[in-house]
């Protein structure tokens, strides 16, 4: 079965148990990989109106400086936040690592009015190392998403963003706050129903190596007899805001932090960084 293991998938404790019982049927993959794209889309149901994304977009828009340069959204996924940003009249370049996610975003875009299509460019790219021949008045990362990058990835991100911010531009990042309450359950199961009606199970586990908070998620079909049986995992290190602020300052940004006013289930902070004139 090892040849079926996607390169970057984390073998969570829950995945271990599931792989042991599924035997040859079991396929481990990262939740954000191409292999898991169908399940991701089924669960995220990006097609419907998402009031959370609308309020997130409004909160970001409140901090975007006036100007004619476009806005760069990094790790845009299938466009959950991109479309509400477009609805606010912004011109958006959406960069995303997964070609399948970009294909989904582009498919939705093709169904949008021509005027909206004209204001959006979707590209496959790595937010830790990107190059455009233009600058942006804001670079945005949706809440929690910076956690997909490791230390080296974040260093590459800051360097790339610096090169692409127009004078007076803002780097805007939603950062989930660590939850120091270790008394809350460390492990929980949740039933999920996809847009297709298919049922899934989400297993969520928190753990605390050193001063870090790490979340392991494992998502799999509720029908454990499925063949193949896709076990999607992802590990997120909940970034310590103090560390991100220090990193941004070391990368040459002026930084402020405030509460993110969008309607989000968990407490999120907004990091605002700009390059001094």
The binding site for ligand SAM (CB under 6 A) comprises 32, 75-77, 80-81, 96-98, 101, 126-128, 142, 145, 148
Q: In which element (H, E) is residue 71 found?
A: strand 71-74
- Alpha-carbon span 245 to 239, nearest angstrom: 10
Q: Shortest distance, CB of residue 137 to ligand SAM, whole angstroms?
A: 19
Between 25 and 174, CB nearer to ligand SAM? 174
Q: Which two tokens stand for residue 185?
A: 């359950």
Q: Shortest distance, CB of residue 274 to ligand SAM, whole angstroms?
A: 22
Between 37 and 69, CB nearer to ligand SAM? 37
Between 106 and 224, CB nearer to ligand SAM? 106
Residue nearest ligand SAM, CB atom distance: 77
Between 22 and 170, CB nearer to ligand SAM? 170
Between 19 and 219, CB nearer to ligand SAM? 219
Q: Which two tokens stand for residue 228?
A: 């193949």
Between 22 and 230, CB nearer to ligand SAM? 230
Q: Which two tokens stand for residue 111?
A: 């169904």
Q: Shortest distance, CB of residue 36 to ligand SAM, whole angstroms?
A: 10
Q: In which element (H, E) is residue 111 found?
A: none
- Alpha-carbon span 217 to 12, nearest angstrom: 8
Q: Shortest distance, CB of residue 250 to ligand SAM, whole angstroms?
A: 20
DSSP 115: H
- Alpha-carbon span 156 to 175, nearest angstrom: 18
Contact 248, 159 (CB under 8 A): no
Between 176 and 221, CB nearer to ligand SAM? 176
Q: Shortest distance, CB of residue 225 to ligand SAM, whole angstroms?
A: 29
Q: Shortest distance, CB of residue 97 to ligand SAM, whole angstroms?
A: 4
Q: What are phi and psi of 269, to 5 degrees?
A: -105, 155
Q: In which element (H, E) is residue 245 found?
A: helix 241-250
Q: Shortest distance, CB of residue 139 to ligand SAM, whole angstroms?
A: 12
Mode of pairing for the β-strands spanning 136-141 and 71-74: parallel
Q: Which two tokens stand for residue 207?
A: 């753990």
């Amino acid at each position: 079965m090892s040849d079926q293991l996607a390169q970057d998938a984390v073998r969570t404790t829950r995945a271990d148990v599931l792989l042991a019982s599924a035997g040859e049927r079991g396929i481990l993959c990262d939740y954000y990989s191409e292999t898991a794209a169908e399940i991701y889309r089924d669960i995220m149901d990006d097609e419907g109106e998402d009031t959370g994304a609308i309020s997130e977009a409004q909160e970001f828009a409140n901090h975007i400086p006036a100007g004619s340069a476009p806005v760069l959204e990094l790790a845009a996924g299938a466009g959950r936040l991109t479309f509400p940003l477009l609805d606010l009249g912004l011109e958006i370049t959406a960069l995303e690592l997964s070609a399948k996610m970009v294909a989904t975003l582009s498919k939705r875009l093709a169904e949008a009015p021509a005027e909206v299509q004209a204001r959006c460019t979707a590209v496959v790219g790595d937010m830790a190392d990107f190059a455009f021949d233009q600058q942006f008045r804001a670079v945005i990362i949706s809440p929690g998403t910076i956690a997909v990058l490791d230390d080296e990835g974040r260093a590459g991100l800051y360097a790339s963003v610096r090169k692409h911010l127009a004078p007076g531009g803002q780097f805007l990042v939603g950062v989930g706050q660590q939850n120091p309450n270790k008394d809350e359950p460390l492990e929980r199961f949740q039933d999920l129903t996809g847009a297709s009606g298919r049922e899934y199970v989400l297993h969520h586990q928190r753990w605390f190596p050193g001063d870090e908070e790490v979340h392991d998620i494992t998502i799999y079909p509720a029908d454990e007899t499925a063949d193949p049986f896709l076990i999607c995992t992802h590990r997120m290190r909940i970034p310590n805001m103090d560390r991100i602020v220090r990193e941004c300052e070391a990368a040459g940004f002026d930084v402020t932090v405030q509460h993110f006013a969008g309607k989000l289930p968990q407490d999120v902070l907004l990091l605002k960084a700009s390059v001094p004139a």
